Amino acid sequence: MQRSDLSREDATEVTPSPELDATIVRRLGDMGVSRRQFMASLTRMASLLALPPSMLPQLAMAATSPTKPSVVYMSFQECTGCLESMVNSFAFKGGGTIENLLLNVVSIDYQETLMAAAGAQAEHQLASSTAKSGYVLVVDGSIPASANSGYFVSGGRSGAERFRSAAANAGLIVAVGTCASFGGLPKADPNPTGAVSIKDMMASLGIAKPLINVSGCPPIPEVITGTILLYLASGMPALDTLLRPKTFYGRTVHSHCYREESFEDGPRVKAFDDAASRKGGCLFDMGCKGPVTKAACSSIKWNQGLSFPIQSGHPCMGCTEPNFWDRVNKGGKKGFYVPLAGSYDD
Amino acid sequence: MTIANIIIDPVTRIEGHLRIQAYADPDGHGGGTISKPALSSSTMVRGIERILQGRDPRDAWSFTQRICGVCTVVHGLTSVRAVENAINVKVPKNADYIRNMMIGGQFVHDHVMHFYHLHALDWVDIVSALSADPTATATLAKKNNPNYKPNNGLLPDAAYFQAQINKLKTGLVNRGQLGLFANGYWGHVAYKLTPEQNLLLTSHYLEALGWAREIVKLHTVFGGKDPHPSLVVGGMPCTLSANTGAVSEDNGGTSLNTAGLAAVKAALDRMKSFVDQVYLPDVLLVARGYKNWADFGATAGNFLSYGEFPDPALVRTEMVDGAIDYPAGYLFPQGVIWANDLKRLMPFDQAKVTENVAHAWYGGSTAALHPSVSTTTLQYTGPQPDQPDYMLDEADRYSWIKSPRYDGKPMEVGPLAHILTMYARNTLATDRLVRKYVDTYWCGTAANGGLALPFAKLNSTLGRIFSRMLETKIIADQMAGRAAISNWSIPAYAGWYPLFYANRSGKYFNPKAFTVLASPSTLPDKVGFGFTEAPRGALGHWIKINRTTGMIDHYQCVVASQWNAGPRDGAGAPGPYEQSLVGHKLAALDKPLEVLRTIHSFDPCIGCAVHVLDPEGQPLVTVDVSHLGRLV
């Protein structure tokens, strides 16, 4: 079996079509989705999430719940790339698409880039959404450690204070993107604004809440929505030591890369657009960080499975890993085109 | 200090973090009129240019790309062009075709999403849409969007729109969870569209989300992912696949195989059809309902464009190292318009660009300085956050955005500048096309589908929305190709994709780029300059590479939203956002919908606008203006 075909490989282990109860079927009808359509796409989603078939009705229930779980999405030192990515989500039609997320699956009660309300009305919306407990707090961007620095102020409140009050009643915090997960670009040397990750901000504020890191610059669309659906369907997913869902971050880009064979046997790319690059040769010598990067890029791929950076000829930059902007490589040098130190032979 | 009675913070439905303060003379009925320039403040900073110091110039694009995830291609590409300029390396023809398509694709994606997802809710009342008559909406759809068939290949009928209403009701209203639509200014007297118009546009809001997901595939094929696709100094990292079949471990190959190229073609066709069938008629529909918004939102009438989309038809010769050189020839002109005078498109001289920090939170000189010599350090002197009565003072420093000026004047950049400079140039077929479209749709009679508005009122909130749509149409046609329009004497254009496709087995990368950078002592002693016209306007990066270490000594960006959203300068002259709000009449000061309409018409992108200079402030030696010397 081909290694690049992972999602299909997993799909064969899922037996489709457990029964959905009449309530769910009726709610699907209200959403304009047929039972068959829904189950087919749900099965695909479950295969991405590596869920057992018995979980499908729970996922269906989560996706059609009469009271939608509340999501409060707050942005700090970020570039909006994570939200742009989430908007591209197409986990399954009627399920993980952004249209359906907005309308049916969750209630996104606060998200500054998309919400209708502005200014005082937006602040009121934030206050009322975070007054109830149990919502999922999604955060993108790092936060300046010092509240008084002025490096992040919104609505007259510092990043730290805005985060503290929004986190107070949250049931779960999801740090989306590498900036929120690990500090990311703002924290890159010399970290001019004293930026910290959500985990570190929680520690300094004494907030003890469940946290999931969904790293990536940005993360794959389906990994963002899939993590949220996974949590809604089956509670806290298994996490790695960096608090990322193992389902999506359990393997390196290298281990499932379709170019892995040419890492072993050649030909390797020596310059962009050389003969080896047109054949799909390994990009290790061009600085590929795939061997040290845990991500689903080489299995789920991007934008409905179309491609991923290596397939489009560029080495993996390692963007799901902490401090990837400052990784020191061969010869003690930083850089995305500097090969990794070490050999990484299997 | 003006005590503001209108404060919007956070301004939502934008990229980044923006605060607007304004003062309106109360009318005694809860409303009022804004009588003096407002205050525009960005309230977030990251310091990306500082982070770039000492790093490998080949990496710079990936850092600057993260300035903004919405403008994801242009910030990366501007950096790549700046480095290529600094090391005197030209790129192969295919790289420019692909770059044109990637920037063009970003324009189409951004502008359509801006209209539906960021701006529409200022004009479209979602609550009103729920009371629309589905049959009447179907009739409207047939008239307004006669070629758009989202209903399984058919025109949407009454049942289709009833289902849309049901979707909104079951999804949002019946559960009492309005989500993103909660707490809008619904029912505000300034909403003027009929329930049926509101439902039609709401329907297109939802459908455009699915459309956007498909068209970003262009970036995925060429750049491996979207947002933040891969780029490279010296060309493009993607290359034609040796294997036309499925990419796999056994077959190898790249994303530029038969399937990948078909996906690009499909994305371009989808862009073109959605713009023609939905976006263009919808902008006109909204404009007809809000024609009075051509009376508001004007800036001083000074417009700046750096020029964009080098025209492959004008390529001289492919050079021996596989690279090409362009003579003058940009789809969007490079030039300056003063005081709305379209009779003269003045040449752009980058030496006249300055920035100052008189009202921004940076240390150092408050004089107007050229970007290559300006020096800055983060120095927040604003009010302490987390205290009551947080208020900014226009007499003091009040933003993380600096004040860029051209020849000492604030300039508007972006779609309106693009359309007006094309109109003024009037040499290329696309310039003449712009004139025809403006004459037909903006100035033309209602009987002929026009808005019957005077040309001079293009400098307005509505004119900005119209110009954004019009440039989207020009670009979408330029990418996919355009048939001749004989009654307007406009010739056919093959299109960037067909031209690239015919040349697809050519080169994608100039290897000289990496070898030159490996020998820094051989680098020319100069400041590299790269520019793009981003969807929000003029974007420039400056870079100085150290000739001993080969690493970055100095990096500087002057970006589009900085021009538009910047604060007052040393002389107290307000920036375009601030100026544009003067004269706005608000029905209710506590629901400043009218202010949002004009601020959103600029499409604010605030993450872009804030950045930091080199704190060491090393004076820079020479600025290469070879790109800029070639004026139309």
Q: Which pLDDT belongs to residue A49?
A: 61
Q: State how far residue A25 is from chain B, nearest Cα, in angstroms.
A: 14
Q: Is A12 in the B-facing interface, judged by CB distances under 8 Å?
A: no
A276 CA: distance to closest CA in chain B (Å): 9
**Tell me: the pLDDT tens digits for B217-238?**
999 999 999 999 999 999 999 9
Query: What token pair was written down for B335?
Result: 């030039």
How far is it, in rounded angstroms, from Cα B167 to Cα B175?
Answer: 12
Here the tokens at position B402 are 């600096």
Average pLDDT over residues B34-57: 90
Q: How many CB atoms lie within 10 A of CB A57?
A: 16
Name the band, by pLDDT with cuts 50, 70 and 90, for residue A197: very high
B-interface mutation test, from A93, A115, A205, most B Cβ less than 10 A away:
A115
Adjacent-strand bridge partners of B41? B19
Instruction: Single out the residue of B306, B313, B311 nearest to residue B330, CA to CA.
Output: B311
Q: Chain B: give the shortest CA distance to residue A134, in Å.
A: 15
Put simply, the answer to whether A193 touches B14 (Cβ < 8 Å) is: no
Residues in chain B closer than 8 A to A165 (CB atoms):
none
In this structure, CATH architecture of domain A251-346? Irregular (4.10)
CB atoms within 10 A of CB A178: 31
pLDDT at A16: 41
Could B47 and A193 be called an inter-chain contact, meaning their C-beta atoms sit closer than 8 Å? Answer: yes
Check if the beta carbon of residue A275 is closer than 8 Å to that of residue A267: yes
Helices (H), strands (E): how many in chain A?
15, 9
B-chain residues near A191 (CB < 8 A): 51
pLDDT at residue B583 in the model:
96
Cβ neighbours of A111 in B, within 8 Å: 180
Find, among B67, B41, B47, the residue nearest to B613 by Cα.
B47
From B212, B241, B590, residue closest to A87, measured CB to CB:
B212
Axis-axis angle for helices B158-168, B134-144 (nearest 10): 120
Binned at pLDDT 50, 70 and 90, residue B329 comes out as confident
State how far the alpha carbon of B491 is from the alpha carbons of A276, B331, B428, B497, in Å.
41, 15, 10, 18
Helices (H), B249-315: 258-274, 280-289
A313 token code pair: 């000829």
Residues 6+ apart with CB under 8 A from B388: none
Q: How far apart are CA A281 and CA B252, in angstroms?
A: 7
Q: Are B567 and B606 in contact (CB under 8 A)?
A: no
DSSP state of B364: S
State the catalytic residues of B.
15, 68, 71, 75, 536, 561, 605, 608
Q: What is the pLDDT of residues B494-524, one digit of tens each?
A: 999 999 999 999 999 999 999 999 999 999 9
CA distances from B90 to A273, B80, B321, B506, B516 (A): 15, 11, 9, 15, 12
pLDDT in tens, B353-370: 998 899 999 888 888 888
Half-sphere exposure of residue B439: CA atoms within 13 angstroms, side-chain side: 8
The residue among A316, A328, A336 whose CA lies nearest residue A216 is A316
Segment B463-492 mean pLDDT: 97
What are the structure tokens assigned to B586, written together?
């608000």
* Chain B residues with CB-CB distance to A152 below 8 A: 17, 43-45
Tell me how far the alpha carbon of residue A180 is from its chain's centroid: 11
Longest dimension (CA), chain B: 76
Interface check A26 vs B, CB under 8 A: no
Q: What is the C-alpha separation between B203 and B129, in angstroms, rounded?
A: 9
Q: Where are the domains of chain A?
A: 69-219, 251-346
Q: Which of A301, A122, A113, A150 is nearest to B390 (CA)?
A: A150
User: A192-201, A227-236, A275-284, B572-581 — which is least confidently predicted?
Assistant: A227-236
**What's the sign of the alpha-carbon dihedral A56, A58, A63, A64?**
positive
In this prediction, residue B632 carries a pLDDT of: 21
pLDDT of residue A24: 73
User: In the predicted model, what is the mean pLDDT of chain B?
Assistant: 90
Cβ-Cβ contacts under 8 Å, A260 against chain B: 249
**For testing the chain B interface, which of A2, A70, A79 should be mutated: the one with the most B CBs within 10 Å?**
A79
Q: Which amino acid is at B514?
A: F
| Beta carbons of B604 and B16 less than 8 angstroms apart | yes
pLDDT at B321: 57
Q: Can you give the pLDDT at residue B315?
A: 61
Residues A280 and B242 sit within 8 Å (Cβ to Cβ): yes
Give how far B606 is from chain A: nearest CA, Å. 9
Cα B151 from chain centre = 31
**Does residue B130 have a pLDDT over 70?**
yes
Contact between B440 and B402 (Cβ < 8 Å): no
DSSP lists the bridge partners of residue B527 as B544, B623
The closest alpha carbon to B271, from B479, B485, B95, B438, belongs to: B479
Residue B180: what are its φ and ψ, rounded to 5°? Answer: -65, -20
The pLDDT value given to residue B157: 98
Sign of torsion, CA A78 A83 A88 A92?
A: positive
Within 10 Å of residue B232's Cβ, how many Cβ atoms? 27
Q: What is the DSSP letter of B439?
A: I
H-type helices in chain A, by residue range?
Answer: 6-11, 22-30, 35-49, 56-63, 81-87, 98-100, 119-129, 159-167, 178-182, 184-187, 198-205, 221-234, 246-249, 260-265, 275-279
Banded pLDDT at B323 (limits 50, 70, 90): low
Query: Residue B195: is its pLDDT beyond 70?
Result: yes
Cβ contact (<8 Å) for A97 and B209? yes
pLDDT in tens, B241-291: 999 999 999 999 999 999 999 999 999 999 999 999 999 999 999 999 999
Q: Which one of B178, B228, B509 has the shortest CB-CB distance to A218?
A: B228
Q: Which residues contact A238 (CB under 8 A, 6 or more apart)?
A: A245, A246, A247
In angstroms, the CA B478 to CA B486 distance is 17
Query: Contacts of residue A164 in chain B, CB cutoff 8 Å?
Result: none
Q: Does A34 touch chain B (CB under 8 A)?
A: no
Classify strands B303-310 and B39-42 as parallel, antiparallel or unpaired. unpaired
Cβ-defined contact of B213 to A313 (cutoff 8 Å): no
Let me know if the fold of A69-219 is the same as that of A251-346.
no
- Give me B466's structure tokens: 């119209």
Structure tokens at B478: 């330029």
**Does the pLDDT of residue B198 top 70, yes or no?**
yes
Q: Closest CB to A81: pick one of B179, B227, B596.
A: B227
Strands B527-534 and B403-406: unpaired
Q: Round to whole Å and give the CA distance between B528 and B541.
A: 8
- Can you tell me the distance from the alpha carbon of A240 to that of A182, in angstroms, rounded to the nearest whole number? 14
How does pLDDT run across A13-65, given as a tens digit for each residue?
333 445 667 777 777 676 666 777 666 666 666 666 666 666 667 767 766 66
Which H/E stretch holds residue A213? strand A211-214
Give me the pLDDT at residue B68, please. Answer: 85
Q: Topology of domain A69-219, per CATH?
A: Rossmann fold (3.40.50)
